[in-house]
Copies of this chain bind each other. A is one copy, B any other.
Amino acid sequence: MPSKPARRSFIAAHPAFAGGQDTPRAFLERCLEQIDAREADVLAFVETAIPAARSAADAATVRWRENRQLSSVDGMPVGVKDVIETADMATGKGSPLFTGWRSGWDSASVMALREAGALILGKTVTTEFAASVPGPTRNPHDLARTPGGSSSGSAAGVAAGFISAGLGTQVVGSIVRPSSFCGVYGFKPSLGGINRGGSHDYMSQSCQGVLAASLDDVWRTAIEIAVRAGGDPGYPGLAGPMTTPEAKKPRRLVFLETPGWGAVSAPLKAAFEGSLARLRASGIEIVGRVNASEVADVEAALGDALKVTRDINGRESIWPLNIYAERDASKLSPQMRDRLTESQAMTPDEYRQSLARRAQIRALYARLASGADGCIALSATGAAPLGLSSTGDPSFAAPGSLLGVPALSLPLLSEGGLPVGVQLLGFEQKDADLFAIAGFVEQILG
């Protein structure tokens, strides 16, 4: 069992494609070899489309040879979380109610990826309806551990080198947490950054994002989608350069403990504080709750992040959960049935109060933008926990979801030899700026 990640960056292979030493088809075959070797253990995929991917890789190979590639992800092997529709594969949503269900159409993001030449290699395992009940996927770094969720298969597939990038979705912790546990790069854009059309992830905090092998693979994949499919209707959508924003040293970062800090082990706290010290040594000012009252206000407000998120998501899930339960409640997990019962007890006015509370917390956070370039936090309370029955603690990921701001998890720390992410949080619509900061942070800590 390799403890080193086997991430496979497609963008890093660009020069070899251009120079003729490598091809997208050969790149794909290396992914397929890895799948042959490890998928039986990792279980990242629900379904694959290998013949179609090989044809698409051959077409991309010709385009690269003739220097007329469609985009920077032309030929990139990509996995698609199984709540996102694909024309050629089923969309099972991690639920026995939908096993084998086919919409027959591509989601907006998959449409964009195909237009950009990417290979839709397979559907990746999701928890039940992208919520909390896990699928079969195991953590490639230790098969006895959860990969995190809900974007479990995309995270594990990238970590295992099956794919260069995977589409994910996040409404609480579903991109940042599995990215942290699996040691991959994970990006949840600003709310509405990537068009969710055709993704079964309906909540007001829901966001589609990318998990990938490097910062470059994340950005390139995300921006190639956004320029073709846009953001959610009514949102400006992810904006920025077609190449990864150049690394730029931030002047000041806010260290956010978040409600998760109390659950972090002393060694991991020390490692994270060591990272902060190295960033300070590079000339970045780092402020926290102890030396900035507006940060303390945000930290206090984030104490409500999980509860407010849970209340909002609950009420927003009554449909469709209720019609699923009416059809066959025995095919919903007990957790999902309990969730539905709880949510149905909530009144419209309680929901409106939760929305108002979320708006308050967002306003408090937005004030930080005048004095800082972004925030830095852990991505999870520790390494992936043992066992496959829970996807782990989302305390560190929930704030970014609640706030609707861009969040990036970088695989820069470890605990007990297992990966842990450093999380950067930005400000609304400033996703490209966050990548520039991340480039610098990675130079210092990587």
Question: With A204-B234, A234-B204, A234-B355 in contact, is A226–B108 under 8 Å at CB?
Answer: no
Of the stretches A149-157, A162-170, A181-189, A314-322, the one at the interface is: A314-322
CB distance from A433 to the nearest CB of B (A): 17
What number of copies of this chain does the assembly contain?
Answer: 2
Residue contact B204 to A323, C-beta cutoff 8 Å: no
Residue contact B236 to A319, C-beta cutoff 8 Å: no
Residues in B with CB closer than 8 Å to A320 are 105, 108, 111, 197-198
Question: With A319-B197, A320-B198 in contact, is A352–B87 under 8 Å at CB?
Answer: no
What sequence of 0s and 1s flags, for each residue 278-321 of chain A, a beta carbon within 8 Å of any chain B beta carbon? 00000000000000000000000000000000000001101110
Residue contact B234 to A87, C-beta cutoff 8 Å: no
CB distance from A80 to the nearest CB of B (A): 15
A440 close to B (CB within 8 Å): no
Residue contact B230 to A316, C-beta cutoff 8 Å: yes
Residue contact B352 to A319, C-beta cutoff 8 Å: no
Nearest-CB residue, chain B, relative to A234: B204
A195 close to B (CB within 8 Å): yes
Residue contact B229 to A319, C-beta cutoff 8 Å: yes
CB distance from A14 to the nearest CB of B (A): 24
Question: With A234-B204, A323-B87 in contact, is A318–B348 under 8 Å at CB?
Answer: no
- Please, how many angstroms separate the alpha-carbon atoms of A351 and B228 in the complex? 12
Question: With A195-B319, A319-B198, A348-B227 in contact, is A355–B236 under 8 Å at CB?
Answer: yes
Residues in B with CB closer than 8 Å to A206 are 233
CB distance from A383 to the nearest CB of B (A): 33
Residue contact A239 to B355, C-beta cutoff 8 Å: no
CB distance from A417 to the nearest CB of B (A): 41
Identify the interface centre among A204, A229, A233: most chain B CB within 10 Å of its CB: A233
A431 close to B (CB within 8 Å): no
CB distance from A220 to the nearest CB of B (A): 16
In the complex, chain A residues 194-223 whose Cβ is within 8 Å of any chain B Cβ: 195, 197-198, 202-206
- Please, how many angstroms separate the alpha-carbon atoms of A130 and B195 in the complex? 20
- Please, how many angstroms separate the alpha-carbon atoms of A322 and B105 in the complex? 11
Question: With A322-B111, A323-B87 in contact, is A239–B316 under 8 Å at CB?
Answer: no
A260 close to B (CB within 8 Å): no
Residue contact B204 to A237, C-beta cutoff 8 Å: no
A74 close to B (CB within 8 Å): no
- Please, how many angstroms separate the alpha-carbon atoms of A234 and B233 in the complex? 14
Residues in B with CB closer than 8 Å to A235 are 204
- Please, how many angstroms separate the alpha-carbon atoms of A348 and B226 in the complex? 9
Residue contact B204 to A197, C-beta cutoff 8 Å: no
CB distance from A402 to the nearest CB of B (A): 12
Residue contact B197 to A230, C-beta cutoff 8 Å: no
- Please, how many angstroms separate the alpha-carbon atoms of A22 and B273 in the complex? 76
What sequence of 0s and 1s flags, for each residue 91-110 of chain A, a beta carbon within 8 Å of any chain B beta carbon? 00000000000000111100
In the complex, chain A residues 356-415 whose Cβ is within 8 Å of any chain B Cβ: none
- Please, how many angstroms separate the alpha-carbon atoms of A446 and B226 in the complex? 51
Nearest-CB residue, chain B, relative to A238: B348
From the candidates B236, B322, B355, name the one contacting A352 in the complex (CB within 8 A): B236
- Please, how many angstroms separate the alpha-carbon atoms of A206 and B316 in the complex? 18
- Please, how many angstroms separate the alpha-carbon atoms of A323 and B110 in the complex? 10
Identify the interface centre among A107, A229, A322, A323: most chain B CB within 10 Å of its CB: A323
In the complex, chain A residues 332-367 whose Cβ is within 8 Å of any chain B Cβ: 348, 351-352, 355
From the candidates B111, B197, B237, B319, name the one contacting A108 in the complex (CB within 8 A): B319
From the candidates B87, B230, B322, B351, name the one contacting A351 in the complex (CB within 8 A): B230
CB distance from A261 to the nearest CB of B (A): 29
Nearest-CB residue, chain B, relative to A319: B108
Residue contact B233 to A203, C-beta cutoff 8 Å: yes
Can you offer 26 A-B residue contacts whose CB atoms are under 8 A?
A87-B323, A105-B320, A105-B323, A108-B320, A111-B319, A111-B323, A112-B319, A195-B319, A197-B202, A197-B319, A198-B319, A198-B320, A204-B235, A206-B233, A226-B348, A227-B348, A229-B318, A229-B319, A230-B315, A230-B318, A230-B348, A234-B316, A236-B351, A236-B355, A239-B348, A239-B352
Which 5 residue pairs spanning A and B have beta carbons closest together? A204-B234, A108-B319, A204-B233, A233-B316, A236-B352
